[in-house]
Copies of this chain bind each other. A is one copy, B any other.
């Protein structure tokens, strides 16, 4: 496998882009990434596009080809990949593999979703495509239901308190204030969180990520390829993709997602790194409790201590590890197919030393993207370029 670097990044603001067609969002982010990388577009050998529900919500598929056409890329393989909320992470992994395997010298990866124009019923219905409705749907569970159960289970087993969970919300919403790409940064009090609309007990409105429109993009190149970028390349050390149970009843433990545990193990084993080597993490906080569960599954925080660490500020700026300095899904937003690519975008900004919520001396970063009821997961590890 060849060494791979990220030489270019691009992103739209995450939020409302009601009047722009979905491919315009993707092209905007992609064009930024190409310019940032300085790569000659004739050298781009493949395009991977992560998207979840452009069919149901935008009446449009073959987005990978449409985006490549709009960008004037050559006659290259253009592939949409889908794995529910992990679609972006899967696209990133395939771009990495295409370069690492020697198939291409440069690959463009784009993640995109457009949801805000649709009604709540339409969006909920589309998001439920990530669940095996014929099985889980009959239980009445939706995604807030699943993560509400996780919260209750975590509280019962580890004594996790509402105040600890709210600490995650406060941290991520605060990060969003200074990340100009974020959809809804806000300084919140415990009271505001806990008195917000009940969604699915114990989850309140501020415990849930919003639907979003947005796109993010990256250019990956072989490290050996001469780059004209003025930016420091960031090393992609590994990207793991795993599968967990496809139905809720298949999860042996509501306090953990096996796909995350396995993907993290693969990534640490392949890189020789440990969780303690990681300085910055962008993880899949689709709900506040998810950040606690994910941080434990990744080994970043000791099992059962996710809430305590959040409340003690150990996962904030200046803590042992900084989680979701972008604001995370909770605050930056969750344009589903874009999320996994956007996470890498944020970690690259950290490793370049140019993040609005910069972690001093950030050297190693990790991204974690989780799909459906934990059915798909990617974990990728990046390092400041050498």
Within 8 A of B (CB), among A221-278: 241-247, 250, 258-259, 262
A336's closest neighbor in chain B, by CB?
A: B61
Any B CB within 8 A of the CB of A90 = yes
Range for the number of chain A residues in contact with chain B: 35 or more
Near B by CB (< 8 A), chain A positions 51-90 give 52-56, 59-62, 64-66, 68-70, 73, 75-84, 90
Copies of this chain, complex-wide, total 2
A residues near B, CB below 8 A? 21, 23, 52-56, 59-62, 64-66, 68-70, 73, 75-84, 90, 93-94, 97, 101-103, 125-126, 128-130, 132-134, 241-247, 250, 258-259, 262, 371-372, 375-376
List the 4 closest A-B pairs by CB distance, nearest first: A69-B246, A65-B375, A77-B241, A61-B129
CA distance A77 to B62 in the complex (A): 22
CB–CB B78/A243 < 8 A: yes
Q: Does B65 contact A246, Cβ atoms closer than 8 Å?
A: yes
- Is A64 touching B83 in the complex (CB atoms < 8 A)? yes
Q: How far is the CA of A77 from the CA of B69 in the complex (A)?
A: 29
Most chain B beta-carbon contacts within 10 A, residue among A93, A101, A246: A246
* A244: chain B residues within 8 A (beta carbon): 65, 75
Chain B hits for A125, CB < 8 A: 59
